[in-house]
Every structure is written in C-alpha cells, then in structure tokens.
Amino acid sequence: MASKRRPLHSPSSKLNFRPNSETPGWETKGKKPLPEPATVKQVLLMMIVHVCRRTLFVDTSIKVAIYGATLFLVSILADVLPFPKTYFSRSDNVLNQYFVKLGWGWTLFVTSPFLFMTSFTYCCGKRDRILQHFARLGIATFAWYFWTTLFWYIETVYGRCNASPEKFQTKETCLAGGYFWHGFDISGHVFILIYSSLVLIEEARAINGWEGIRDLIRNEEHARNVGDVSVTSNPLRGLSFEEFSNLKESYDKFTVYIRLFFIAMTFLSVLWDVMLVSTILYYHKVIEKFVSGAIAILTWFFTYRYWYTLPRALPNLPGEGLFKYKDVRQPKEPAKRRSITTAPQSNAKHQLPTFMGMPLYGLRNQENREQKDEDTDIETDTQLNSSNKS
C-alpha cells in the first residue's frame, strides 16, 4: 500500500517555522542593536583592569584598620627588634628621592587627568559640574599643605639643638653645624602615603559601572532613532540632544585613556603601601607615625565619608553627574502578552553571566532571541490548535 504524501503546507509543517528579518510582515522595530565584538587588545586591557580592580578596591574600612594596626604594632616591633638594614633603609634610595618626597605631586599627576576625563564624560561636558569635581583635589591639596606645614612648624618651633640651644636656635643652623635637632617630628611621609592612597581609591571609584555606559548609549540611541518613547527607564532619557552627543563623543574618545590612568593609579597605590612599610620599619618614632597616620585617616573620613555625602553638598562624590551609571541595570523591554500561562521562573535564571566581574551582554541578547523564537512557537501552536478545533 502506497504511503500518502504529506502536503507541503500541512499544519504540522508549520511547527518548525522560524520567522526572520527577511520574512514579509516580520517587524524588526524595537530590536536593540548588538554590541560590537571586542578586539584582542581590548580583552587584554580589560583583564588588566579587572586585576587592578581587585587590587585597588579593597574594603576601605579594612584597609584603614590595617593602616592603624600596622602603624602601632609594627612600629613597636621595629623599635624593640631592629630590622636589618636594606636598600629601603637608606634615605637616598631612588623611590624615596623621586617618588615619596614628591608623593603628592605624583598623586595629582595620575589623578587629575583621570578625574577630568571621567567627569567630562558623565557630566556631558558641563564646565561648572566638572569644576565642582575638581574642587575635591583642591580641598585635598589644601589639606596636604596645611598639615605638612603644621608638622614642620611644631618640629622647628618646639624643638632644640643637642649642642648649644643658645648658639643654634634654628634647625637649619643646628644641622649645618653638624649637630642633631630634637623635636616632635610628626611624619610627613606617613601622612602623604596614607592620605594619597585613600584619595586614589576614592577618586578611582568613578570607573565602577563604566563599561555599562556603552550599553546605555547604544540602547538610548536606538530608542531615539526609532522614536520609541515607551522605554523610560534608561538613565540617559533625560539628556538633551547636545548632552547626549557630548556623552557619546567623550566616552568613545576617553575610555581607553581612562583605563590606562586607572592602571597607573593602581600601581601608584601599591607603591605607596610598599614605601609606607619601609617608613614604618626604619624612620620616626611610634607616636610620630601614629599621630600622622591618624590625622591622614581622619582627614579622609571627614571629606569623603561625611562632607561629600551631605545632601546638596559641594563638591559631590566621584561619579555623580547628569545621569546615574553605577550599579544600573539595563532597561527591560515591555513583556509581550502570552496566550499560555507559564509558571514564574526563578531569579537565578535571569541573572546575567559575568566574566572577570563584567556583565556579558551578548549572552543576554542571545537569550532574548531564543525566548522570542520560543514565544513564536507557542503562539503558532495555539493558533493551530484553535483551527483544528474549529
């Protein structure tokens, strides 16, 4: 008995139908553009940035506690059990001469360009807002100058020469005569090293969530091009045309340099910690180092953890501009109405996979496409069941 040939357009042949962009009547409006593939250089740079994030962004409370414990305990051990002399115990070593003595200058050298490029981007080129962010470095520079000058004043005014106080009344003449000046020498190096490290950490926080700005720009640009006014959760929706254009241009132009300066800030912070240990082991008394470190920590806490967090305070914290980009989730498309009720899925399924701490937006786009295909199959099956019953 000959088998019956199935019609080419039988209902069962439509079950595997996958509509695409070439199918007439298939609407592509509302589909978000996919991110561009990353190059090898970009991947390698992102790997280095990820390592720097892990190194620099240690919990600040823990780091401050380590600073305090090290200044007190290690200084006592260094006085009781003198450590052997090394290259770092020499005051003329290269790192001490060309980095520590110019410590605040190096901190400004790597932080200022980073602050300018990041603030210019998330402030969309607004000059007044950029200057407000630069005010933080101005305040930090004033604090550095005020405290180090006060340390020098206390040592020189309230100290005395070990030879003849009447003959050598100043520190300069005492040292020039080959004698020693005894005074309360609060360690300016300890202050600079700790305060610089804390400022570097706080200013570098502007890079948190930086990669997500690219996706915000891409989605907002697509929504504006197609005239989609339904998407209102994008933080960039409130920007004007000029502000949005400035954001796009500055983000593309500055991002590579921002990453490079962030790496430099990480290396400088590590160098400051190494030189801090050297200073604790070989220089100053316990009380001189502890007082200096306490002043540095209190100055940082007052500015970055109290002053800049006050409502309507100026200046603002790093990363605060015309839109919010830190820890911002990408806006979801409006859910389509389904003909078949499905059970709620767990939140774990919707969590976006990450690589080196960065979200993989490409995988989410792939999941969205697969979900759309599944929805199409469900709608097709429903229509076929309805036609068969009729």
Q: Which residues are known to be catalytic? A: 189, 284
Q: Which residues contact 216 (CB under 8 A, 6 or more apart)?
A: 234, 235, 236, 323, 325, 328, 330
Bridge partners (DSSP) listed for residue 355: 358
Neighbours of 333 (CB within 10 A): 15
CA angle (57 as vertex; 236, 119 as ends), nearest 5: 35
Residues 338, 378: Cα–Cα separation, whole Å: 8
Q: Strands (DSSP E) along the chain, which ranges? A: 160-161, 181-182, 354-355, 358-359
The SS3 of residue 204 is: helix
Q: Report the Cα 132 to chain-centroid distance in Å.
A: 19
Contact 106, 158 (CB under 8 A): no
Sign, Cα dihedral of 350, 322, 30, 358: negative
Helix (H) or strand (E) holding 181: strand 181-182
Structure tokens at 31: 């589909």
Contact 271, 197 (CB under 8 A): no
What's the distance, Cα to Cα, between the start and end of the chain in Å? 31
- Choose among 331, 342, 345: nearest CA to 377: 342
Residue type at 356 in one-letter notation: M
Contact 78, 278 (CB under 8 A): no
Phi then psi dihedrals of residue 160, to 5 deg = -155, 155
Residue type at 209 in one-letter notation: G
Structure tokens at 260: 């490079």
Residues 276, 264: Cα–Cα separation, whole Å: 18
Residues 94, 346: Cα–Cα separation, whole Å: 58
Q: Report the Cα 368 to chain-centroid distance in Å.
A: 29
